[in-house]
Structure 1
Amino acid sequence: MSDFDKDLAAVQRIAAIPTILDVIRRLTDMRFVAVARVTEQRWMACATRDDLGFGIAPGGELAIETTICHEIRQSRAPVVIDDVSQDPLYSAHPTPVMYGFKSYISMPIVLPDGSFFGTLCAIDPNPANLNRPEILGTFKMFAELIGFHLDMHSQLDKAEAELASAKEMGDARERFVAVLGHDLRNPLASIKAGLALLSRTQLDEKAKEVLGHLNHSTDRMGELIENLLDLARGRLGGGLPIRPVPAELGEVLHQVVREIEAARPNRMFNVEVDIPGPVMADPDRIAQLVSNLVSNAVKHGAPDTPIRIFGILEDGHLVVSVANEGRPIPPSKIATIFEPFNALETRGAKEGLGLGLYIASEISRAHGGTLSVSSTLVETRFTFKAPIANRA
């Protein structure tokens, strides 16, 4: 596989790309939007939203010397053209005439190590009002997110390739994950700070919608980073740390379900919880455990059946279970289901890094409990059971 083929595949692996292109399309009214790989010799589309009939699909190429992206690679500065006929720099430029556009915007995609990957760009044959803070800010944030994802996938791919031939696979991967998680926190914090700053400006409805997508994406990236760090803590630090306090776990469980219901309004949830009084436990970690189990049920359960959440105190134990209907887990997967990097397939494709159930099992272990699974044609049920040493 050539380097360009790898770059094309890397962009295609980023699940958020179609949403990014769609948001840009609706925010700017630009009818051709693309993520392009740009080098000194080549320009290749890695992802496109083509409502214009421009005719460039992922994998398609343009002669690099005919593109403005070629100039952006050299300057590493964005180019924004509202109306090429009125633009003092580009009114006589040959590229707009060659490709028939009047409005254009392109933002460089730079990886965290400083290397130039390509551009996030859009064109349209009509003029457009692009030179606005919300448009530029949105493009900048999306370009940074794409660069982030590309670097993370690249680092994980390198780690897996190295670990495949290493005798001590577990230690090597987990040490890498610990470093990766810490290194990703700082740039993510910068992105979130930029979003907070942008939210305080005067925005129209489209821009507010874009901010919502961006905040959701950064929250999801934050969850991914925390999962990576939890993996490292669990394997390298002797287990996940917990901070037991007197906690109203019944309310904790209800709050988790309310949050997931808000994100998944089309799914049904049945909650039966009877946990009287406070219980000594780490409420944040218990919420994380239950959230991971319910999210797993949402991903793999039959979408037209309810997910059932139970919580009780029984014989001196806290018992919480999450059940869903749908296709059972293959017996070959049951034995390793709580191991890290063991994502189950959903509709023929793997989702996430496969850390959710591993982290849930580590939280259970940290509370002196167990996490078990049973899966039949009737239902799949995960059950957390932990002794209550001291009632609060």
Structure 2
Amino acid sequence: MASIYYLIIVKNSPESILSDINAISKIPAVANILEIVCQSTGMGFSAVARVTEDRWIACATFDQINFGLVPGGELVLETTICNEIREHQKAVVIDNVAEDEKYAHHHTPLMYGFQSYISVPITLRNGKFFGTLCAIDPNPHKVDTPQTIGMFTMFADLIAFHFDALDQVSISEQRLQEELEISQLREQFIAILGHDLRNPLNAISNSAQLLSRLNQEERVQRLGDVIKNSSFRMNGLIENMLDFASGRLGGGITITKTPDEDLGKVLTQVIEELKMIYPERSIKTTFCLDYPVSADGKRIAQLFSNLLGNALSYSDRESEVEVTAFSNKDEFNLCVANPGKQIPTATMERLFQPFSRGEVEPNKQGLGLGLYIASEIANAHGGKLDVSSTPEKTCFTLSIPINN
């Protein structure tokens, strides 16, 4: 065969072309395809070529005739028939150059010394022309048949399919990596924010309590109550925010169970804390905890604080909030009920979703995470949190297995 006009240019190729060559090399079927087309046609050289407006580059080759072109090798674009295929995007098939009226004096076979030739376009799913699947040989071969052209077309489509699949995988991996980095940054931000907020918040709360003890003046007491109330709400927001980050980014809310948790004591402590915030409110309690419960007391307290805080916040000051709790041989049950407006059906359907809120008064703004966190704590205990609402009363009920 005649001399080959090419040079190895992998290091000087644009990143996109290097990526294409690398992608083709990752398709295991390509090597088999190139070998099969040569065995089926009797031709000695086959290749997958990346063809652009100004480059012809071999992505993969099968060479039994010492043509000398290897992956990354480049032919001068204008010396190839693939350049013409790029323009009209139709297959070119030649059994015998010497007997072909169109190609007998064509510069390409004269330059490269082949007599038989077949090349079909490789078109990607988005309609973009990628390049060609081609084969050549210095001797004539019968390749202009429906069977051979059909085989090449099928293989070209298969290569395009695999290339598109690899491209989609690459895009998905890139997006996943970006999402992971964003998630990590978000988690770090929330954790640092929560930690940095707690210190000044604790100082504010402690100062408010000290102020109330030192000065019994009514005005000072009212201001102290406002500060304590705001501090309590802010602490709840921080807890919910951190738990949301942990639940969404860290695989769920974690709990540490105690086999015989004193839930009566846990619930009473929460009620006493909230009575300090809402001293004018009436809270009726009915506890009947006859069976020991395996639970995380701190998490149950957090759940109860969210429910009771909502009940006190969303009901009239003159109304009474009812808290009932019991345990039997099967389950622990906690119910927090308050009179007030009925929760709309549309709101009920998304009440336990994060950042979901119903009708909110201007002085009762929040993140909308409290009920979501409460439901996640219930789920972590193997239980559930339900809600029922009528024009007379709204009730949130927690039920968890006694030994879960």
**Structure 2 length-normalised TM:** 0.48
**Structure 1 length-normalised TM:** 0.49
Rg larger in 1 or in 2? 2
